[in-house]
Structure formats: structure tokens, C-alpha cells
Amino acid sequence: MSGFHEQSATIAGELAATLARVNVDEVERTIEAILSSDTVFVIGVGREGLAARGFAMRLAHLGLTVHWGWDDTTPAVTARDAFVMVNGSGAIGHLDYVFDRVREVGATTIVVSAIAEARTPRRADVALIVPATVYRGDGDLVASIQPMGSLFEQSTQLVFDTLVLQLAERLGLALADLAPRHRNFE
């Protein structure tokens, strides 16, 4: 059995290897799609959905109009909007259905996935590939000592946090500009 420090060092190495393989052109297309939209909608499910929800929160802190897709108060998506979907395997049935509805209205679709060839990333306007294993034996993806999709979920969170830094820079915002937009009734 390995110790905590050995395992955490291995995980940190897995994260570094994954982030090193993220395509900066895909990052740039993601940033452009977000900045050119009227409203950004964000969805995901499970643990990867938690990363997506955190990204939605930070987009709001940047001053963008953003909605978490599963909220009851979320408005209709339009052709002027961007729709960010985290779909690690790229083939989650109910997310595929949502993707098809969003495509029908003409919104710009951004799919964050590990599997570029899967259904939704292949059909997205922008595919942002986070090449971390979703399940053991996932082909040419960074492998992990962790269970199931943990590496993908963690890497996606870090990709989103880095996107926030990139977006803040493009918007001319200092990080201190974000804090006043944080919910003040906690």
C-alpha cells in the first residue's frame, strides 16, 4: 500500500500530464465562443457537473450573463447564446438529448469531453478535449490510479479555473473585480 504523499504526488503528475495535452487552439475557440455570446448556459452531471457548476459561478463573477442549465429559473436558449456542456464520455444519453435541443435553436455548442470521437464532442461547434481517463482502459488518454472519472473531473475543474484567468485577462479585469459579484447573502 502506498502512502498519502506518494499517491498525492502521482495524482499531481497525472493532472500535469493531462493539462499539458489540452489543445490551446481549442481553449482559444472556447474563449471566443463565450465572449461572443449574449448568455452562457452551463450543464453537466455527477462529479463532472460539479466542476461545470463551479465554472458557471465564476463566469457570473466575471460579470457575464450565465445560467446553470438545471435551475428552474433558467430561460430559453437562443441562437445568440453559448451552451457549455461537460460530457466526459461524450455519450451520456440525456445530455445527448439536451445537446440536440440546443443545436435545434442554433446556439453555439461547446462540449468538454475526454473522447474527441464521441457523439457530442464530434458534433459540437467547439470541442474542448480534456484527455484524462473516464474509465479504465480509455485508449490514448492519461491513465490514473484513481477510480472511474476522478482524473477527468479534477482536470476539468483546473481547465475551467484557467479559462477564468484567461477570460478575466481578456475582459481587462483584475481578480479583485470578481469578489464584489459574489453572492452576499451567505
One-character DSSP codes across the chain: ---HHHHHHHHHHHHHHHHHTS-HHHHHHHHHHHHT-S-EEEE--HHHHHHHHHHHHHHHHTT--EEETTSTT-----TT-EEEEE-TTS--HHHHHHHHHHHHHTPEEEEEES-TTSHHHHHSSEEEE--B-SSTT-SSSB--SSSTTHHHHHHHHHHHHHHHHHHHHHTT--GGGTGGGS-S--
C-alpha cell, 52:
461545470
The answer to whether 92 touches 135, Cβ cutoff 8 Å, is: no
Domain boundaries, the chain: 4-171
Which pLDDT does position 136 carry in this prediction?
63
Q: What is the pLDDT of residues 43-55, one digit of tens each?
A: 999 999 999 999 9
Average pLDDT over residues 106-113: 98
For range 139-168, the mean pLDDT: 95
Q: Which fold, 4-171?
A: Rossmann fold (3.40.50)
Per-residue pLDDT tens digits for 156-181: 999 999 999 999 999 999 999 998 88
Calculate the dihedral angle through the C-alpha atoms of 156, 159, 165, 171, rounding to the nearest 10 degrees: -90
The mean of the pLDDT values for the chain is 94
pLDDT of residue 2: 83
What are the pLDDT digits (tens) for 64-98? 999 999 999 999 999 999 999 999 998 899 999 99
Any idea which residue has 466526459 for its cell? Answer: 88
Query: Which residue bears the cell 487552439?
Result: 25
pLDDT tier at 6, thresholds 50, 70, 90: very high
> How many other C-beta atoms lie within 10 A of the C-beta of residue 7?
13
Per-residue pLDDT, 180: 87
